[in-house]
Amino acid sequence: MTATPSRPSRVAKLPPRERILDAAEELFQSEGILRVGVQAIADRAETTKAAIYRHFETKDALVAEWLRIVAAEYRAAFDRVGAAHPDDPGEQILGLARFIAEGLPTLSYRGCPFINSLAELPDRSHPARQVIEEHKADQTRRLIALCERAGLPDPGQTAAEITFLLEGAQVSTQNGSVDQVGERLMRIVEGLLDRRRAQAES
C-alpha cells in the first residue's frame, strides 16, 4: 500500500517574516500580548526563536510591527473612501463609519487590537504604544480635514464627536453592552452630520 504524501502546510508556503507576523497576530489577538512568548510564536509560525530574532530585534519590535500593519489597514480605508468619493467629504466620513460598522462582527470575539494593546502596555515609551498614538493622531488630522472640506462648523469638535462614536461602537461591541451596534452607529453618525450641516446653513 502506497503512503499518501503529506500536504505542505499553508504556513510553510509563506516567507519567514510573513509567517512570523501572521502567527504573532493570531496569538496576540486570541491570547494577549503579555501571555504570548516568542517560543509560542515560533511554534505557530513553524520556525525558530533564532529566526524570529533575525527579523525582529525584540518581541516589542514584533508587536510594534504588527500594529503598524493594523494601522496601515485603517489608512487604506481612508484612501479607499477618498478614491470612491473624491468630491464628497461627507460621504467619505460615512464611508469610514461604514468601514468600522462592517468590521464590528470580528471585534465581537477578538476585540480591537489597539484597545487591547493599550490595556496591556501601560508604559507610554513602549514602541507599540508610540505606533498607536501616531496612528490616532494621523487619523484625527485626516478626519478634521474631511470635516473642514465638508464645511462643517467647528471641525475639531465634530471630528472628536465622530471619533467618540467610532471608538465607542468598538468598545460596546467588544463588551457586548449594546445590540445592533453597526446599525446604531450609522444612524447616529448620519444624524450628527445632518445636524452639523443644518448649523452651517443657519
CA–CA distance, 143 with 140 (Å, rounded to integer): 5
* Global confidence as pTM: 0.85
**Is residue 108 very low, low, confident or very high in pLDDT (cuts 50, 70, 90)?**
low
Which sign, positive or negative, has the C-alpha torsion 33, 103, 152, 149?
positive
Percent of the chain with pLDDT over 70: 93
Q: Which residue has the cell 501616531?
A: 134
Using the Cα atoms of residue 126, residue 130, residue 131 and residue 136 in order, give the sign of their dihedral: positive
What residue type is assigned to position 130 of the chain?
Answer: Q
Element spanning 87, H or E = none
Q: Which CATH code for domain 13-56?
A: 1.10.10.60
Selected from 3.30.2270.10, 3.30.1490.20, 1.10.357.10, 3.40.50.300, the CATH number assigned to the domain covering 60-201 reads: 1.10.357.10
Q: What is the per-residue pLDDT across 1-57, written as a single tens digit (0 to 9) for each?
A: 333 333 344 455 789 999 999 999 999 998 999 999 999 999 999 999 999 999 999
pLDDT digits (tens, 9 = 90+) for 140-173: 999 999 999 999 999 999 999 999 999 999 999 9
Residue 3 C-alpha from the chain's centroid:
45
Judge if 13-56 and 60-201 fold alike in CATH terms.
Answer: no
Domain regions of the chain by residue span: 13-56, 60-201
Convert the pLDDT of each residue in 131-141 to its tens digit.
999 999 999 99
Task: For residues 107-115, give the mean pLDDT.
Answer: 79
